[in-house]
């Protein structure tokens, strides 16, 4: 096998194939449609999310509404649409918080080093030593639950994970010569963070963005499922699984549909992250081989 | 040398436990307003609030309350539940055993199974089993715990009618009934961790199989079975033990959802109910137990991986 043949092959291949492939395109489609449908829920949902449309609970698919009714006789499809809105927006907000604080904190620790780094990282380690759900349960037992509490708590928990990655990336980049030169030139910390660290850490951080989003969805819906997150009658996928669980015992699929909706979102994101990771690996090997 | 290192890990673990106990305490202390007010809600009268404040010792400064609490915990006195007025230690003891049984049985099933499957996948790269493991991992890290649970209930409890959907272990009077009642929770927990554990086993064995030592063994003409079992596996023990400990710690959080789905009378169900009724002393006690198990598991993994790796042993 000759070394110089491979990169040529690889680049023609990636040029000819669609960048995502079939499964990747499907994943992007699933995500976009859930987001659009969630945002447009008030416009396209056939009924209100708390509107009772039938005396019969757990009506099967096709009777009274497209997907049947839930345990109170409300339209399951409408609640799923509104649920997309709640679940996805909460997770997006939590991910945003996790990223802002995780990246700023981690990069600051990496740039400053020394005592600051020690102090910040040890504190972070303590929160890292907690099982995530325990931390969330403690907070909710202390301050009760609301959208703000949920977003901040989950954002904070996931932020401790982002912090670790951002710190490691910043430490690596700080050892590069171009950063050393800007330090010698007398640039301040903020300039280095904005012009050197962030642009160079952006690509590896972007895969972590996807992972944080899926973990946020899973943690938020687990809390809602336990009855400690989003409160009924609001429509949220985790809440919907919880409230329709009794229907399961006589074969109603109402609890299954929101669970499958969560699964299709998280699976799509994780698949895209995988695709991106393997592409990054290929790019790196191309770079090394050429 | 080795002992000094082990002691250092242990000390660090104890420090983490201390920090966690402080955090658990502080977490339930920093309320906007007052614990007594929050617990009793809007309908509380001034007298009931004053009485509760006195019972909780809220007139004392927080550091003193922490010391009193932790001193009690160390002597096995976990305090009294606000909601039921019963001693917490008594409420927890039977629940704790149930949860350990659940997680323990799941671990007994998953650990050997994931090792075997991981080895099979590693020794046959790109085979059917290897690809299946890789796809299943992606699916199981994406699946919410309650999805696996609901699918299993649909299949085994509703359609096939083989197993109960509610895990009522107190009415199980013989071992067969007990096994039937915990089958679905155990199966759910096992499925949650099986694929990631198998995948990580496969990866660590694969990276060992690529090492020069294994190349030498191949060139020496040793049999495939001998190479995998006696040359590759010992070197993969440290990463594998870490994986096992990580996933067992993951069972701690998985068990929360599983116990609620199946109404399993375990510690996690008790804790979730306590969070709902804002029974703070009970939440604190449960959180402390769960976090301690988690930390101990991680220390255990550290120690084992040092013992299994001569290089680490020496450099430490």
Domains in chain B: ranges and CATH: 2-74 (no CATH), 88-310 (1.10.3720.10)
SS3 for A212-237 is HHHHHHHHHHHHHHCCCCCCCCCCCH
Sign of the dihedral through C-alpha B111, B148, A98, A277 = positive
What does the block give as tokens for A254?
A: 């109402």
B213 interfaces chain A, CB cutoff of 8 Å: no
| Whole-number pLDDT of residue A61 | 78
**HSE of B228, CA atoms in CB hemisphere, 13 A:** 16
| CB B265, CB A115: distance < 8 Å | no
A198-229 pLDDT, tens digit per residue, is: 888 888 888 889 889 999 999 999 999 999 98
Residues of A whose CB is below 8 A from B290: 131, 134
pTM of the model: 0.85
pLDDT surpassing 80 at residue A172:
yes
B34, burial (CB in 10 Å: exposed 0-12, middle 13-18, buried 19+):
middle
Question: What percent of chain B has pLDDT above 90?
Answer: 7
Closest Cβ opposite residue A141 in set B143, B280, B291 = B280
| CB A141, CB B28: distance < 8 Å | yes
A70-109 pLDDT, tens digit per residue, is: 888 888 888 999 999 999 999 999 999 999 999 999 999 9
Which CATH number is associated with domain A23-54+63-264?
1.10.3720.10
Of A14-18, A158-162, B47-51, where does the model show the most confidence? A158-162
Please, which pLDDT band fits residue B1 given cuts at 50, 70 and 90?
low
| CA angle (B74, B80, B81) in 5-degree steps | 125
| Inter-chain contacts counted by CB atoms under 8 A, chains A and B | 135
Please, which pLDDT band fits residue B141 given cuts at 50, 70 and 90?
confident
Task: Give the residue from B138, B150, B158, B284 with the most A CB atoms within 10 Å of its CB, the best one to mutate.
Answer: B150
A51-75 pLDDT, tens digit per residue, is: 887 777 788 877 777 788 888 888 8
Contact flag A129-B20 (C-beta cutoff 8 Å): yes
| Whole-number pLDDT of residue A15 | 43
Residues of A whose CB is below 8 A from B272: 137, 226-228
pLDDT surpassing 90 at residue A150:
yes
Contact flag B19-A129 (C-beta cutoff 8 Å): yes
Entry field: residues in chain A:
290
In B, residues 113-152, which contact A (CB 8 Å cutoff)?
138-139, 141-147, 150-151
Contact flag B144-A262 (C-beta cutoff 8 Å): yes
Cα(A110)–Cα(A118) distance, rounded to whole angstroms?
A: 10
* Domains in chain A: boundaries: 23-54+63-264
Please, which pLDDT band fits residue A9 given cuts at 50, 70 and 90?
very low
CA A220, chain centre distance (Å) = 10
| Whole-number pLDDT of residue A2 | 40
Of A126-130, B32-36, B123-127, B139-143, where does the model show the most confidence? B139-143
| Whole-number pLDDT of residue A253 | 82
Question: What percent of chain A has pLDDT above 90?
Answer: 33
**Between these two residues, B162 and A287, which has the higher pLDDT value?**
B162
3-state helix, strand, coil in chain A (%, to 5): 75, 0, 20
Residue of B nearest to A133 (CA): B253
In B, residues 18-37, which contact A (CB 8 Å cutoff)?
19-20, 23-24, 27-32
Q: Which of A220, A221, A123 is nearest to A163 (CA)?
A: A123
B158-203 pLDDT, tens digit per residue, is: 888 787 777 777 776 778 778 788 889 999 999 888 888 888 888 8
The three-state secondary structure class of B316 is coil
Please, which pLDDT band fits residue B30 given cuts at 50, 70 and 90?
low
Contact flag B158-A248 (C-beta cutoff 8 Å): yes
Cα(A205)–Cα(A194) distance, rounded to whole angstroms?
A: 15
Contact flag B31-A228 (C-beta cutoff 8 Å): no
- Tell me which H or E stretch contains A116: helix A114-128
B56 interfaces chain A, CB cutoff of 8 Å: no
């Amino acid at each position: 096998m000759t070394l110089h043949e491979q990169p040529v092959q690889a680049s023609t291949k990636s040029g000819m194939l669609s960048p995502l492939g079939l499964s990747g395109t499907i994943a992007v489609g699933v995500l976009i449609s859930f987001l659009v449908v969630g945002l447009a829920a008030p416009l396209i949902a056939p009924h209100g999310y708390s509107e009772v449309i039938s005396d019969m609970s757990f009506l099967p698919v096709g009777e009274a509404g497209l997907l049947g009714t839930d345990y109170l006789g409300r339209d399951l499809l409408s609640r799923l649409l509104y649920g997309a809105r709640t679940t996805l927006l909460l997770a997006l907000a939590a991910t945003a918080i996790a990223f802002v604080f995780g990246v700023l904190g981690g990069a600051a620790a990496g740039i400053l080093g020394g005592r600051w780094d020690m102090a910040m990282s040890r504190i972070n380690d303590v929160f890292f030593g907690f099982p995530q759900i325990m931390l969330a349960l403690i907070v909710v037992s202390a301050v009760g639950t609301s959208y703000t509490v949920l977003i901040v708590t989950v954002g904070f928990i996931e932020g401790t994970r982002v912090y670790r990655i951002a710190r490691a990336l910043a430490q690596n980049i700080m050892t590069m010569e171009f950063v050393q030169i800007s330090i010698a030139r007398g640039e301040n910390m903020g300039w280095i963070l904005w012009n050197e660290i962030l642009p160079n850490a952006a690509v590896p951080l972007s895969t972590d963005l996807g992972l944080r989003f899926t973990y946020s969805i899973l943690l938020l819906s687990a809390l809602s499922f336990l009855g400690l997150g989003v409160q009924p009658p609001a429509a949220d996928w985790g809440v919907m699984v919880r409230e329709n669980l009794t229907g399961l015992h006589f074969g109603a699929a109402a609890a299954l549909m929101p669970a499958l909706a969560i699964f299709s979102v998280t699976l799509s994101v994780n698949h895209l992250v995988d695709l991106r990771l393997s592409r990054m690996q290929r790019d790196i090997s191309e770079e090394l081989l050429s | 040398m080795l002992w000094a290192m082990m002691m250092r890990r242990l000390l660090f673990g104890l420090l983490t436990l201390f920090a966690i106990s402080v955090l658990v305490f502080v977490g339930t202390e920093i309320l906007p307003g007052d614990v007594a007010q929050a617990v009793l809600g809007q309908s509380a009268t001034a007298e009931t609030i004053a009485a509760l404040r006195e019972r909780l010792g809220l007139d004392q400064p927080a550091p003193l309350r922490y010391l009193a609490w932790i001193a009690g915990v160390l002597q096995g006195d976990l305090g009294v539940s606000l909601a039921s007025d019963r001693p917490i230690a008594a409420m927890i003891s039977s629940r704790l055993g149930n949860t350990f049984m659940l997680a323990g049985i799941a671990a007994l099933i998953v650990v050997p199974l994931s090792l075997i499957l991981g080895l099979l996948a590693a020794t046959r790269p790109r085979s059917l089993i290897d690809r299946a493991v890789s796809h299943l991992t992606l699916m199981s890290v994406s699946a919410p715990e309650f999805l696996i649970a609901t699918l299993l209930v649909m299949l085994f409890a509703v359609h096939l009618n083989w197993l109960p959907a509610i895990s009522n272990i107190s009415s199980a009077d013989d071992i067969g009934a007990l096994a039937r009642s915990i089958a679905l929770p155990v199966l759910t927990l096992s499925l949650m961790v099986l694929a990631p554990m198998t995948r990580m086993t496969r990866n660590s064995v694969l990276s060992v199989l690529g090492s020069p030592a294994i190349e030498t063994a191949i060139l020496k003409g040793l049999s495939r079975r001998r190479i995998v079992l006696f040359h590759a596996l010992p070197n993969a023990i440290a990463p594998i033990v870490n994986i096992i400990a990580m996933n067992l710690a993951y069972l701690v959080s998985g068990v929360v959802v599983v116990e609620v789905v199946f109404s399993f009378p375990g510690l996690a169900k008790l804790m979730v109910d306590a969070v709902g009724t804002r029974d703070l002393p009970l939440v604190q006690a449960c959180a402390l137990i769960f976090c301690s198990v988690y930390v101990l598991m991680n220390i255990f993994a550290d120690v084992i991986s040092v013992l299994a790796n001569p290089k680490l042993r020496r450099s430490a």
